[in-house]
Amino acid sequence: MHMLGYATQFGQIESLKLIASPKFPEKRIGYLGLMVLLDERQKVLVLVTSSMRNDFKHANPYVVGLALCSLGNISSVDMARDLASEVEKLCRHQNPYIRKKVRSGSEAQRLISRHSCTARQPICLTRFLVSADL
């Protein structure tokens, strides 16, 4: 991927390093960088999937919200299929902020709208939408 004619691989790796940081401001900048520098065709998404899986289990609800927003913006079909069960668990989370973030439908609708035209639409996402009552 190129931005203004320059390669963005260095920024992708630096964004991944920021996401792995335990500090919230660095995670926020890292997720913002990923949403700007990545799309669903990048190979770096395998590493992002494991970071998001860890952030879905984070104690800070705002970190979980960042991961959900990023999932809605940059997910691929494989990433959506891999993380659908974790997102489904977040529908029943004890924190109302996280439930509101998931059930607002923005992340789920973006996931479905991005991948509804593909022949390999994840069955897990339709199950997720039914369980979330969206």
Rounded-to-integer distance, Cα 20 and Cα 51, Å: 7
Classify residue 102 by burial, with Cβ atoms within 10 Å: 0-12, 13-18, 19+. Answer: buried
Q: ∠ CA 131-122-92 to the nearest 5 degrees? A: 25
| 123 pLDDT above the threshold of 50 | no
Q: How large is the average pLDDT for residues 36-65?
A: 86
| 119 pLDDT above the threshold of 50 | no
Domains and CATH numbers, the chain: 2-132 (1.25.40)
Assessment of whether the complete model's pTM goes beyond 0.85: no
Tokens 């984070």 — which residue?
A: 58
- For residue 81, CA distances in Å to 20, 28, 84, 85, 105 come to 22, 24, 5, 8, 17
Q: What is the pLDDT of residues 82-106, one digit of tens each?
A: 888 888 888 888 998 888 888 765 5
